[in-house]
Structure 1
Amino acid sequence: MRKIILYIATSLDGYIASPDGSVEWLPTPPPGEDYGYADFLVTADTTLLGRATYEQVQTFGEWPYPTLTNYVFTRKAPTEAAHPSVTFIAEDPTEFVQKLRQEEGKTIWLIGGSTLAAPLLAAGLVDEMMLFVVPRLLGSGIPLWRLQDHQQPLKLLRTKSWPDGMALLHYQLSGIEQE
């Protein structure tokens, strides 16, 4: 079964975007540093994005994931895809992802946002979370976490910090025994 990893940056106060959806507050990595992004990217062959996240990624210029299979979940009629590797999905995310996990392949990267991540977390479909905590307080914006109807235990797999204050919290979710 394929692994699903939520790999995402968040402000220290838990926001993944400004109130207008922008991510201009995200820092530019120091020269020669990518916070492990390249190492992570080679483990994945599929991405999952919500419609708002997809639209945000499009503002960055050329489509950044042309070699991956990209699924964009939307309730709106799809516009033209940014790249042939993009497929719009209108069906229930949990049902779609349950089937996708059974297919052959590498890691599935849950890019976000929180509207997509919430039902996948609630359904127990997220295996790991790699949270990059940005040393910034936004005060408001689009939250990383949506209301969950139950608690989920986490197992800390590793942490890492960088001189600029960026910190990685890497957790395992699925398959953890309840205490």
Structure 2
Amino acid sequence: MRKLIAQELVSLDGFFSGANGEIDWHIVDDEYSEYALDLLNTVSMILFGRVTYQLMASYWPNESNDIAHKMNSSQKIVFSKTLESVHWQNTQLVSHNYIDQIQNLKQQPGKDLLILGSAELVSLLLNKGLIDELHLTVVPIVLGCGKPLFKDIDKRMKMDLYNSKTLRCGSVQLFYQTN
């Protein structure tokens, strides 16, 4: 069975983005980019919610580095009830039965699955017990307000830390397995 990994950047005060969705505080340097490329090489598909999909689809097709190549060539699914179509290459739109679709994907053979960003999708899937690992990069900033990473979680969830790394920029990466 394939694992479903959620990879997130989060502020010290637990926000996924600023109040207006801004992510200009993310620190994406060479060291983080190396981690991101290594992670992308371990998965066969990337999953997104609508907001993160639209952000990524507006950025990566215009870039030409190794991460861009991987992002553009990877199979992608966007989960949205409001989008009518998707235009980023290798992207499929799923507008209903999210849980069934993800359970089916996890049962298929192949490399692991990855969610980038997409905090609402992550919270939904955490509540359903479908996320196997969380990779959190805690950025050394206090935003004071914003959109929380975990919203509408309906029960306590214990995680097991299996690795951590301090990046030169001051961010700390925490790698958790869910129970």
Normalising by structure 1, we get a TM-score of: 0.89
Q: Tell me which residue corresponds to 2:114.
A: 109
Contact 1:93 1:119 in 2 (8 A): no
SS in 2 for 1:95: helix
**Mapped pair 1:98 → 2:97:** no
Q: Distance in 1 between matches of 2:55 and 2:100?
A: 25
Partner of 1:51: 50
Aligned to 2:149: 144
2:140 and 2:48 map into 1 onto residues whose CA distance is 25
Structure 1: 5+ residue runs without aligned partners? Answer: none
CA-CA distance at 1:67 after TM superposition: 2.1
Aligned to 2:168, the other structure's residue is in SS state coil
Q: Does the C-alpha gap of structure 1 residues 28 and 40 become closer, same or farther in structure 2, counting only changes over 3 Å?
A: closer
Change (3 A) 1:28 1:149: closer
When residues 135 and 76 of structure 1 are mapped into structure 2, their CA distance, relative to the original with a 3 A threshold, is same
State how far apart, in whole Å, the 2-side matches of 1:113 and 1:148 are: 15
Q: Give the deviation of 1:47 after TM superposition.
A: 0.8
Closer, same or farther: CA 7–163 of 1 in aligned 2, 3 Å: same
* 1:91 aligned partner, one-letter code: H
Using the TM superposition, give the Cα deviation of residue 95 of structure 1 relative to its aligned residue in structure 2, in angstroms: 1.4
The structure with the greater share of residues assigned to helix is 2
C-alpha displacement at 1:79, in angstroms? 3.2
Q: 1-side partners of 2:2 and 2:163: how far apart?
A: 21
- Structure-2 residue corresponding to 1:11: 11
SS at match of 1:60: helix
Offset at residue 32 of structure 1 (A)? 5.7
Alpha-carbon distance in structure 1 between the residues aligned to 2:114 and 2:28: 21
Give the 3 Å change call, closer, same or farther, for CA 138–2 of structure 1 in structure 2: same
Matched-pair identity in %: 28
The structure 1 segments of at least 4 consecutive aligned residues displaced by more than 4 Å after TM superposition are none
TM-score, normalised relative to structure 2: 0.89
Contact 2:86 2:92 in 1 (8 A): no
Residue equivalent to 2:65: none
Aligned to 1:71: 77
Does residue 1:170 correspond to 2:169, yes or no? no
SS of match in other structure, 1:97: helix
Partner Cα distance (1:35, 1:51) in 2:
26
Q: C-alpha distance in 2, partners of 1:151/1:93?
A: 22
Aligned AA (2:167): W
1:87 corresponds to which of 84, 92, 98 = 92
Residue identity matched to 1:135: P
CA distance in 2, matches of 1:59, 1:114: 19
CA RMSD across the alignment: 1.6
